Amino acid sequence: MDAKGAKLLQPAMLQRQVDPARYRGLVREDKPVRWAREELDKVVQMRGRPSTEWPTPTALPDALGRLAELLATLAWDDLAGLARREELTYRRPKRSATKSSKSAKSAKASTSSSGDKRIVDALVALRENLYDCRQYEEALEAVEELLRMAPAGRHAGAQAREARYWRTWFLTKLGRHQQALESVVDELTGIRGRSRAAVRDEDEIALAHALATHADLLEKAGRVAEAAEVSAEVVEVWWRRGDATVHFLDAVDLHSERLARSGQGEAARVCIIEAMRRMRNRRCTMYQENTWYNFGVRLLELGAPEPALAAAEQAVRLYRDSADAHRGRHRELEAEDDWDWDHRYSEAYLRERRHKELSSSLREVRRAEQNLSDGLLALSDCLRQLRRTGEADAARAEAATLPAT
């Protein structure tokens, strides 16, 4: 992360077009471009001059910080990263070999109190810029620097949990799974280290996500039984949150699937049946249908046709609701008669846009109907296992009436 020889921003680099689809500002695009050029002019004038000649002791890094924000607004994240790197060379405390131990400690305390926040904010912003540029190795370096600061810096310490999350994420993205596994264990230790009285809502959510990541990494390492064990804790965390039913069901689905793959078929069956029992007091809604479908299929494979039937019936009900909702939205879209009202565009463009909207809507309808068909076929298999042949044939016949995608 030492930027001594790093490439510095030059005025010519700002001679590029703004991508309107990526622009993040609220004012006209030309204004932040002009402001960025003005800030860069200030930076160029101060470069190479001693800090005693700057308007204020932090004028140059402050200007670089403002410049980086403007460049990020313009979605020029590569240039914003250059500005942040240069800013950090001025923000970081300078070390002097001639200072006494006492004066060095005093200077360190002063830096910690006054400079810590600005350094941390710059590192966080640099990580965001590098993430957007997909420069994950460099982004990891920024996160590691922030974590090195955490024990001594109050603001860095407050950012440590998020930094640990990103360290795990970048290590995973870079394929360094063993290091990512060690990182997520450290992340979990930090989350669990908070006193129960200080635990906040976001801590519980962070715990669920960290545990899920831990399980995923264990599975990638071929440790499926251990991944299943961690998944059980994910299930319980989401269950405690009454507003996270979809997350709870997804966690049960993944937990039971890992149990089955690790040779724990009976535990997988019990896991799903217990979740279904719990769900009796919670409302089932759309967006849960695929999970209920998976429950039915898995329970049937595990030799439990009766609970499989209950899950399959629930899946079909939800798939039917979803298909009806998509059909209703498509009918409403077809009935709209003001699709050509916007006179800023040509008639040809409006017709093309209308055609795309209708085609996309119809694809959603067909996808929902295909899901309903799959659910009916799974339901038919459950009914047939229970020797309810007439009902099984009726479910299969209804599936045959649905349009194929």
**Cβ distance 165 to 187 under 8 Å?**
yes
For residues 218, 220, 223, 228, the Cα torsion angle rounded to the nearest 10 degrees is 60
Asked if residue 249 belongs to a domain, the reply is: no
DSSP letters, 249-310, are HHHHHHHHHHHHHTT-HHHHHHHHHHHHHHGGGS---TT-HHHHHHHHHHHHHTT-HHHHHH
Residue 396 forms part of a structural domain: yes
Q: Residue 171: enclosing H or E segment and its boundaries?
A: helix 160-173
Per the structure, the complete domain to which residue 359 belongs is given by 284-405
Cα distance between residue 107 and residue 21, in whole Å: 46
Residue 295 domain flag? yes
What region, left, alpha or beta, does residue 128 occupy, with left being phi > 0 and alpha being psi -120 to 50 degrees?
alpha
Structure tokens belonging to residue 220: 């990638």
pLDDT of residue 357: 93
CB neighbours of 160 closer than 8 A, spacing ≥ 6? 146, 147, 150, 190
d(CA 14, CA 36): 8
Contacts with 281 (C-beta within 8 Å, 6 or more apart), sequence order: none
How many CB atoms within 10 Å of residue 220?
16
71 inside domain: no
Nearest to 216 by CA among 249, 258, 270, 261: 258
331: in domain: yes
**Within a 10 A sphere around the Cβ of 335, how many other Cβ atoms?**
7
**DSSP codes, 319-336:** HHHHHHHHHHHHHHHHH-
pLDDT tens-digit series, residues 244-273: 899 999 999 999 999 999 999 999 999 999
Instruction: Confirm whether 2 is domain-assigned.
Output: no
Per-residue pLDDT of the chain (405 residues; tens, 9 = 90+): 444 445 899 999 999 999 988 999 888 889 999 999 999 999 999 998 999 999 999 999 999 999 999 999 999 999 999 999 999 999 987 764 444 444 444 434 444 444 688 999 999 999 999 999 999 999 999 999 999 988 877 777 778 888 999 999 999 999 999 999 999 999 998 888 864 545 567 888 989 999 999 999 999 999 999 999 999 999 999 999 888 899 999 999 999 999 999 999 999 999 999 999 999 988 888 789 999 999 999 999 999 999 999 999 999 999 999 999 999 999 999 998 888 887 778 888 888 998 999 999 999 999 999 999 999 999 999 999 999 999 999 999 999 999 876
Separation CA 51–CA 43 (nearest Å)? 12
Residue 345 lies in a domain: yes
Q: Output the CA angle 204-160-175, nearest 5 degrees.
A: 90
Number of domains composing the chain: 1
Model-level pTM greater than 0.75?
A: yes
* Rounded CA separation 153/340 (Å): 58
- 205 within some domain: no
Q: DSSP assignment of 21-47, as one string?
A: TT---SS-THHHHHHHHHHHHHHHHHT
